[in-house]
Structure 1
Amino acid sequence: MSLMRNEILERLRSGKHLQVALDFLEIRDALGVARQVADLGVILEAGTPLVKAEGIQGLLALRSLGDNIVVADTKTADAGDVEAEIAWRGKANIMTVLGAMDDSTVESAVRRARELGIVVQVDLIGVKDVVRRAEELLSLGVDIVGLHIGLDVQRKRGVTVADMREEIRYIGKKTILSVAGGLNPKSIAELMDLPVSIFVVGGAITRSQEPRKVAEEIVNILGRSTILASGD
C-alpha cells in the first residue's frame, strides 16, 4: 500500500473521481474489468460480494494492478477493529462501515484504521435520516460519508441516489462525499453541480459490453467538471 492516509484524503478532496464497484463472486471476473480501466486512474472497489467470496487474496489481486486507490467494501457491522485489519492485510486504502450500526462499531473501526493508515468511509445504506446520522458519524471521526441507495431499493421503489439532491448538497459541503446506487454517465452528468467527490458505478460499467468505453465517458465528464470548477 504505497499511498499514505493523508495522501489518499488529499487526492480525494481534489476534483471528482470515478470508483468502479467490482461486485463479482470470482476474482478473475473482477480482474477482467479492473485491467481494462485501472490505467484511467479510477478507484477500484472490491465489492462486498467479492470481499466475502475472495477475502484478503482478492484484495491483494486488485492491489497488484498498480497504485490505484483500492476500497474494501466490507460494510462492517461489528468488530470494526478486526475488519480494519482485514482491509489492511489486503493492502486496501479504504474500508467501509455501516452507518446504521452502533457508534461503538464505528469508533472501533476508526481507531484501528488510523493506527494502520486506513481511511474509513461510512455507508448510509438503510439509514432514514441521512443528514442527522452523517453529522453524528463525522463527529466520531469517519473520513468519508457515502450516500447509497441499495440495489433492492432501486428495484422495488424505482429510485437512485441521483434523487437525493438536497441531501447530497448539504452533506457534500461538510466532508468528502461518495454517492452510489444506479448511476450511469447520464445521471452523473446531471449531478455535476453538486459537491460530490466520488461517483461509484457498478453495473453501468461491469455489465457493459464495453466497460472501458463507459468508464472513459464518465472520467471525461468528471474531468470537464474539475476544469470548470478550477476556472481554467
Structure 2
Amino acid sequence: MKFGEASYGLAWVNVCLNNKELFLKTFSSGGILANLRPNLIVKPLTIVKPINNLDSEAKEELFYGVVQFAIAKAVADLNLNSEYIVFNVNVPEVPLTKIYKKRVFQQFYASARTAILRALNDYPSLDKVKREKFRALHPLVGFRDDKLENPPYLQIALDVPSLENLEFILNNLPESDHLILEAGTPLIKRFGLEVIEKIRESFDGFIVADLKTLDAGGLEVRLAFEHTADAVVVSGLAPRETIERALSEANKYGLISYLDLLNVQNPQKLYNSLKNKPDVIVFHTGIDENKRREFSLEGNFKRAIAGGVKLEEIDKLINSYEIIIVGRAITKSRDPGRVVRFILNKMGYDIDTYRLYYDEDD
C-alpha cells in the first residue's frame, strides 16, 4: 500500500468539523473514538470510521488497533484546538506481522497529520489551484485536460492523404506537453469527423478540429464536441452571426475556439465587432500565396501562426506566437518524429521533467 492510498480516505478530514449532527450520525453508524490506549481518548474528540467493509479478522484488528491508534497519535501530537474531528478511512488487507503493522501505522499517521494540517491551513489556496490546474494528472485518468495554459505549443496540421500515412506519423510522435494535433480540413473532408477518434486512439493530448466553419456554426461545434475534439476552428470569412454562434457554442461545451484569419481583410474590425471573443487567433497565410501576410491585431487572445512555416523560422516565431502550426515540414518528412523533436526542443521542458511524486503538494 502506498502513502497516497492511505491519504485518499483521509483527505476530507475537515468536512464534519462544524456539523455536530453529522458527527453524531457518523459515530452512531460504525465510528469509534480514537484512543491512545483503552479508556484514554484523545482531545479534541476524534471519530474514526471505516468506509470499506471490515470483512476479515485482519482488517478488524488493524482498524481497532493500528489504524485508529495512528490517527489518535497524530491528533495528540498536533495539540489541536478544535471541537471534534471525523476521519473516514480505508482499511487495507495486509498480513498481521510487526513489519506490516509498522508500515500501516506510519502511513496513517503521516496521512492524518497531512490531512489535519491542510484543513487547518485551508489548503489548497485558490492561487495553488489556478497554478496547478493545467499540470494536474490524475492517476486514474491518465491524461491532462489542457486549456493551452503552458505555451508555446507545436500544432501539427495533419493534412495527410491516407490513414496509413496518418498512422505512420502518429506512431513516430514523441510525448510532450507542448504538442497539439490538428485534424486538418482535407483530412476531415475525406474521412469525416470520426478521424478525430482515430487520432485519439494513439494520442491522448489536445486535438483541434480544423473545420474552418463557414455556416451552421453551432451544429459544427457540437459535432466536433461529440467526436472528442478539444478545440474547433472557425473561418473569419463566415458571416458574423455564424462566428458568434460557433464561439458561443464552443464556450458552452468548454472547447477552445480558434478564429482563422485566412483572407480576412480587416482583422481588427472583425475582432472588435464580436461579442463572443475567440481564445486563439490564427494568423494564416494560404499555401497558394507567394509570401506570408503581415497582420496587426490587438486583443486578449493567444496568437497562432500558420502557413508555410519553415524550420529555420522557429526560433523567431516562438518569441511572437504561443502556437506554431506546422504541416508539410513534418507530415512530408521521412522522419516526422525527428522534425517534431527538433521543434519541441526549442519550446522548453515538459511539466514533469523535474517533478517528483507529491512534490507539488509540499
Task: Give the TM interval when normalised to the shorter protein.
Answer: 0.7 to 0.9
Alignment of 1:1-232 (within 5 A): 7-9=145-147, 12-37=148-173, 39-41=175-177, 42-137=179-274, 139-153=275-289, 157=290, 159-160=291-292, 164=294, 167=296, 170-171=297-298, 174-194=300-320, 196-223=321-348
Higher helix content, 1 or 2: 1
User: How far apart, in 1, do the equivalents of 2:214 and 2:143 lie?
Assistant: 26
**Which amino acid in the other structure matches residue 302 of structure 2?**
I
User: How far apart, in 2, do the equivalents of 1:134 and 1:8 lie?
Assistant: 25
Root-mean-square deviation (CA, aligned residues, Å) is 2.4
Higher relative contact order (CA 8 A, sep 6+): 1
User: How far apart, in 2, do the equivalents of 1:114 and 1:149 lie?
Assistant: 26
Residue range with higher mean Cα deviation, 81-90 or 38-47: 38-47
Residue range with higher mean Cα deviation, 182-191 or 74-83: 182-191
User: How far apart, in 2, do the equivalents of 1:27 and 1:117 lie?
Assistant: 29
User: How far apart, in 2, do the equivalents of 1:115 and 1:69 lie?
Assistant: 18
CA contact (8 A) 2:185 2:210 kept: yes
Structure 1 residue 152 displacement after superposition: 1.2
User: How far apart, in 1, do the equivalents of 2:143 and 2:241 lie?
Assistant: 28
User: How far apart, in 1, do the equivalents of 2:205 and 2:261 lie?
Assistant: 24
**Which amino acid in the other structure matches residue 64 of structure 1?**
E
User: How far apart, in 1, do the equivalents of 2:174 and 2:234 lie?
Assistant: 25
Q: Where does structure 1 lack aligned partners over 5 or more consecutive residues? A: 225-232
**Which amino acid in the other structure matches residue 90 of structure 1?**
H
Query: Identity over aligned residues, as a percent?
Result: 29
User: How far apart, in 1, do the equivalents of 2:196 and 2:142 lie?
Assistant: 14
* Alpha-carbon displacement from aligned partner over 1:116-140 (angstroms, at most 9, x marks no partner): 2222111000111233333434x42
**Which amino acid in the other structure matches residue 154 of structure 2?**
L
User: How far apart, in 2, do the equivalents of 1:2 and 1:105 lie?
Assistant: 36
Structure 1 residue 38 displacement after superposition: 5.1
Aligned with 1:106: secondary structure?
A: helix
The runs of at least 4 aligned residues of structure 1 exceeding 4 Å deviation read 1-4
Q: 1:220 to 1:57 in 2, by over 3 A?
A: same
Structure 1 residue 110 displacement after superposition: 1.7
CA contact (8 A) 2:285 2:306 kept: yes
TM-score by length of 2: 0.54
TM-score by length of 1: 0.81
Q: Where does structure 2 lack aligned partners over 5 or more consecutive residues? A: 1-140, 350-362
Q: 1:38 to 1:77 in 2, by over 3 A?
A: farther
**Which amino acid in the other structure matches residue 57 of structure 1?**
E
Q: 1:204 to 1:114 in 2, by over 3 A?
A: same
CA contact (8 A) 2:279 2:301 kept: yes
